[in-house]
Structure 1
Amino acid sequence: MSDEQLKDTPEQAQFRADARAWLAENTPEPPTVRLPQSPLEIMTHEQLDYLQAWQKAAYDAGLVGCDYPVEVGGGGRDNCQRIANEEMLRARTPFFPNVIGLGMAAPTVFYHAQEELKQRLLPALFSGEDIWCQGFSEPGAGSDLANVQTFAERKGDKWVINGHKVWTSLAHFAEWMILLLRTDKSVKHDGLSYFVVPIKSALGKGVTVSPLIKITGETGFNEVIFDNLEVDDSYRLDELGKGWQVAMTTLLHERGAGELVTPRSGGMKSESTHNTNSHALVDLARRTERSSGTAADDPLIRDRIMQQLIREQGLADNNRRSRVPDLQDHPMRLALQNKLLMSEVAQDSAGLAMDIEGAAASLYLGDGQAPDGGQWPMAYMNSFGFTIAAGTSEVQRNILGERVLGMAKSK
Structure 2
Amino acid sequence: MSDSAHRDSPEQAEFRQYCQDWLANNTPGEPPVRLPQSALEIMTEAQLAYLQDWQKAAYDAGLVGCDYPVEVGGGGRKDCQRIANQEMIRARTPFFPNVIGLGMAAPTVFYHGQDALKQQLLPRLFSGEDIWCQGFSEPGAGSDLASVQTFAERKGDKWVINGHKVWTSLAHFAEWMILLLRTDKSHKYDGLSYFVVPIRSALGKGVTVRPLIKITGETGFNEVIFDNLEVDDSFRLDELGKGWQVAMTTLLHERGAGELQTPRSGGMTSRSTHETKAAAVMDLARNTPRGEGCAAADPLLRDRLMQAVIREKAFEQSQRRSRVQPLLDHPMRLPLQNKLLASEIAQEVSELALDVAGPAGSLYLADANAPAGGQWPLAYMNTFGMTIAAGTSEVQRNILGERVLGMPKSK
Compute the TM-score of the two structures, normalised by the length of structure 2.
0.97
| Contact kept? 2:38, 2:266, Cα under 8 Å | no
Give, as a single letter, the amino acid of the residue that structure 2 aligns with 1:238: D
CA deviation profile, 1:61-86 (whole Å, cap 9, x unmatched): 00000000000000000000000000
1:339 corresponds to which residue? 339
Q: Which aligned pairs between 1:205-244 and structure 2 lie closer than 5 A?
A: 205-244=205-244
**Distance in 1 between residues matched to 2:371 and 2:27, nearest whole Å:** 27
Q: Which residue of 1 aligns with 2:317?
A: 317
Q: What is the identity, as a one-letter code, of the residue corresponding to 1:394?
A: E
Residue in 1 aligned with 2:174?
174
CA contact 1:52–1:96 (8 Å) conserved in 2: yes
1:311: how far off?
Answer: 1.2
1:367 aligns with 2:367: yes
Task: String of CA shifts for 1:380-403, please: whole Å, max 9, x gaps.
Answer: 011111100000000000000000
Q: Residue 227 of structure 2 aligns to a residue in which SS?
A: strand
Equivalent residue, structure 2, for 1:22: 22
8 Å contact 2:266–2:273 — kept in the other structure? no
Contact 1:344 1:387 in 2 (8 A): yes
Q: CA deviation at 1:90?
A: 0.2
* Matched AA of 1:250: T
Q: Which residue of 2 aligns with 1:404?
A: 404
Deviation at 1:297, TM superposition (A): 1.1
- Asked if 2 retains the 8 angstrom alpha-carbon contact of 1:193 and 1:244, the reply is yes
Deviation at 1:98, TM superposition (A): 0.1
Between the aligned partners of 1:190 and 1:61, the Cα distance in structure 2 is 42
Superposed CA offset, 1:220-265 (max 9, x none): 0000000000000000000000000000000000001144344526
Is 1:92–1:268's contact at 8 Å kept on the other side of the alignment?
Answer: no
Q: What corresponds to 2:186 in structure 1?
A: 186
SS, match of residue 264 in structure 2:
helix
Shift of 1:359: 0.7
Q: For the Cα contact (< 8 Å) 1:347–1:383, is it kept in 2? A: yes
Q: Residues of 1 paired with 2:291 and 2:4: CA distance?
A: 44
Residue 246 of structure 1 corresponds to 246
Contact 1:273 1:375 in 2 (8 A): no
CA distance in 2, matches of 1:269, 1:173: 22
Q: Which moved more, 1:307-316 or 1:367-376?
A: 307-316
Displacement, 1:313? 1.3
Structure-1 residue corresponding to 2:110: 110
Q: Which runs of 5+ in 2 are unaligned?
A: none
Q: CA deviation at 1:163?
A: 0.2
1:92 and 1:269 in contact (8 A); partners too: no
In structure 1, how many angstroms separate the alpha carbons of the residues matched to 2:212 and 2:277?
29
Counterpart in the other structure of 2:54: 54
Which is worse superposed, 324-333 or 376-385? Answer: 324-333
Counterpart residue number, 2:73: 73
Query: TM-score normalised to the size of structure 1?
Result: 0.97
Structure 2: distance between partners of 1:127 and 1:274: 22
Alpha-carbon distance between aligned partners in 1 of 2:389 and 2:91, rounded to the nearest angstrom: 28
**1:267 Cα deviation after fit:** 7.0
Tell me the residue number matched to 1:128.
Answer: 128
Q: For residues 44 and 258 of structure 1, what CA distance do their matches in structure 2 show?
A: 26
Residue identity in the other structure for 2:171:
A
Post-superposition offset of 1:326: 4.0
CA, structure 1 residues 162+201, in 2 after alignment: closer, same or farther (shift >3 Å)? same
Query: Do the aligned partners of 1:274 and 1:375 also contact (CA within 8 Å) in 2?
Result: no
Q: Which deviates more from structure 2 when the two are superposed, residues 56-65 or residues 302-311?
A: 302-311
- Alpha-carbon distance in structure 2 between the residues aligned to 1:122 and 1:267: 28
Distance 2:329 2:225 in 1: 42
Relative distance call for 1:266 and 1:79 in structure 2 (3 A) is farther
Amino acid at match of 2:393: S
238-247 or 282-291, larger mean C-alpha shift: 282-291
Q: CA deviation at 1:268?
A: 9.5
Q: Distance in 1 between matches of 2:118 and 2:197?
A: 14
Deviations 1:135-163 (A, max 9, x none): 00000000000000000000010100000
Taking the aligned partners of 1:326 and 1:187, their CA distance within structure 2 comes to: 35
CA drift at 1:308: 1.2
The residue aligned with 2:264 is 264
Q: Secondary structure at the match of 2:111?
A: helix
Residues paired across the two proteins, number: 410
SS of equivalent to 1:65: coil
Corresponding position of 2:290: 290
1:156 lines up with 2:178 in the alignment: no
Report the CA distance shift for 1:340/1:110 in structure 2 as closer, same or farther (over 3 A).
same
1: CA distance, partners of 2:321 / 2:393:
22
Q: Secondary structure at the match of 2:240?
A: coil
Q: Is the 8 A contact 1:176 1:199 kept in 2?
A: yes
Q: Structure 1: give runs of 5+ residues left out of the alignment.
A: none
| Aligned residues of 1:95 and 1:268 also touching (Cα < 8 A) | no
Q: Which residue of 2 aligns with 1:97?
A: 97
What is the CA–CA distance in structure 2 between the aligned matches of 1:265 and 1:9, rounded to whole Å? 27
Residue identity opposite 1:46 in structure 2: A
